[in-house]
Amino acid sequence: MKTADGCKLFGAHQALTGIQGGVVLLHSVVGCNFGSMAFHAACDMADIRQTCTVISDSDVIFGGEESLSRALRHAEELCSPEVIFLVTGCVSDIIQDDVHSAAKAFRGRARVVTVEAAGYRGGLEDGYEAALTALAELMSPLPTAEAPAINLLGLGADDHRAGPDLEALRGLLHGKVRLNTVLSRCSLEELRRAPSAGLNVVLGRGVGLAREMERRFGIPFEVLDYPYGLTGAEGLWHCLERRFGLDFSEERASFRRRTAEGLRPVYSYLQALYGMPVSLIGSGARSRGMARFLIRELGMEVACQAEREALTDLEDFFDRVRASETAVLFGSSFEAELAEELEIPLLRYDYPVFDRLCVTCRPYVGAEGTLCLTEDLLNEIMGTWNQKGALYQ
C-alpha cells in the first residue's frame, strides 16, 4: 500500500517551518529530519530552520527526555529563536517521553510550543491542522483594523510556488484589502497581529485555527478553494465584496484583458486542449481549484480526480488512471512514477515537489499565473513525444 500523503509530522513541519523567528525541533529519529528537510530544500535551501534530537537506541531504552532537554538548550544557543516549535514523532510517542514536562522545565528565553505529531496518529493534513491551531497560543486580542484586512490561512511553507503565488494573491487584492498575516509564511510579529484582521480566508485547510480565532477573537472566516484562473479569482473577489462592500469590477476586466492578450499567440494550441482527458490528484482545495480551472477555462475533460487526504491507498487512484484514457497527469513529485509508466506528461502543482526548482517569480495564481500555468501545461505536452502531436491535430 502507498499512502497518498505524508505523515502527521510532515504536516506539522509544513505548518511551522515557514514562521520566521521560530525554529522547529523534531523529537524523533534522524529519518524524520532528513525527509522533511529534503522536501523543504527544493523550496528554499538558504532558509532551513529546523533541528532534531535524533533519538538513539539508548533513548528508546532509557527514555529521551534528557536528550530533548539538551536539544532545547542547543537550539536556543545555535538559532537564538523567539519560539521553539517542539514536534514529536512516532518513536518519542511510543516510548511515552514526557515532552510537556521537558518543555515546562526549559529555562531559556525562547517560548516552547509543543505539537504532538506521531505519524501513526494521523496524516499530513491532521498534522498541519494541529500545528496551525497551536499557533493560537501566541496570539492575544487586538482591536479590529479600521480598513479592510484579511488573514490568509492554508499556505504551507514548502508548497510549490508558494512565494510567487502569495505575491500574486496580494496583487488580486489591488490595495483594496490589506493582507494582514499569511499562515504559514510570516514573521512572529505578523503572527501576533493576526487578531486585528476582519476576516480569515481559509484556502481549504486551517479551519481548526480559523474556528479557534473565531471563538477567541470573534473573527469570521470563509473557506475557499485554491484560486486558480479567473474563476478562482472570482471566488475570492465575491467573498471580499460580500464581506467588505467592495467592488472588483475593474480587476475582473483587467484580468480578462491580460489573459486574452497573453494567450492569443497560442490560441491554436489551446484548441487542442478542448476535451483532452486529464487526471489530477492534490490536497482538497488545490484539487478542486485546479479541476475547476481545467474544465471551465481550458475546456479539458477530467477523467479521474482525487483529494489526497481522502485516499487511503495511492494505488487505487493509480489504477483508475491506468484504466482511463488520461493524456496529462496533474499532481506532485509522488506521481512521477505513474507518469513515466504511462509515458504521459506530469504537471507538478501540489505538495510535495522535490524534483523541480522555482527560483523565478512565476506564480500559478492571478492573471500572470494563469499564463504561466497554461504555458507550463503546453510545454509539458510538447516535451512528451507521444503526446505533442495532439497539439497539431
Question: Computed over its alpha carbons, how large is the radius of gyration of the chain?
Answer: 22
Q: In the structure grid, which three cell numbers stand for residue 260, read together?
A: 486574452
Q: Which of 374, 138, 358 is nearest to 276 (CA)?
A: 374
| Least confident among 4-8, 47-51, 194-198, 207-211 | 4-8
pLDDT tens figures, 63-111: 999 999 999 999 999 999 999 999 999 999 999 999 999 999 999 999 9
Q: Tell me what the mean pLDDT of segment 371-390 comes to.
A: 85
**What CATH class is the domain 263-392?**
alpha beta
Q: Tell me what the mean pLDDT of segment 212-219 comes to.
A: 98
- The answer to whether the bond into 141 is cis (omega within 30° of 0) is no
Per-residue pLDDT, 45:
66
Q: Which of 78, 18, 69 is nearest to 51 (CA)?
A: 78
Residue spans per domain, the chain: 8-138, 149-252, 263-392
Topology agreement, domain 8-138 and domain 149-252? yes
pLDDT tens figures, 272-330: 999 999 999 999 999 999 999 999 999 999 999 999 999 989 999 999 999 999 999 99
Residue position matching grid coordinates 529555562: 107
pLDDT tens figures, 353-370: 999 988 889 999 999 999
Per-residue pLDDT, 1:
45
- Residue 5's alpha-carbon distances to 25, 331, 350, in angstroms, are 22, 11, 11
Indicate whether 392 pLDDT > 90.
no
For the segment(s) 8-138, the CATH number from 3.40.50.880, 3.40.50.1980, 3.30.1360.20, 3.40.50.300 is 3.40.50.1980
Q: Does domain 149-252 have CATH number 2.60.40.420?
A: no
| Least confident among 126-130, 341-345, 352-356 | 352-356
Distance in angstroms (rounded) separating the CA atoms of residues 326 and 301: 9
Q: Tell me what the mean pLDDT of segment 336-360 comes to.
A: 94
Q: Tell me what the mean pLDDT of segment 117-136 comes to.
A: 96
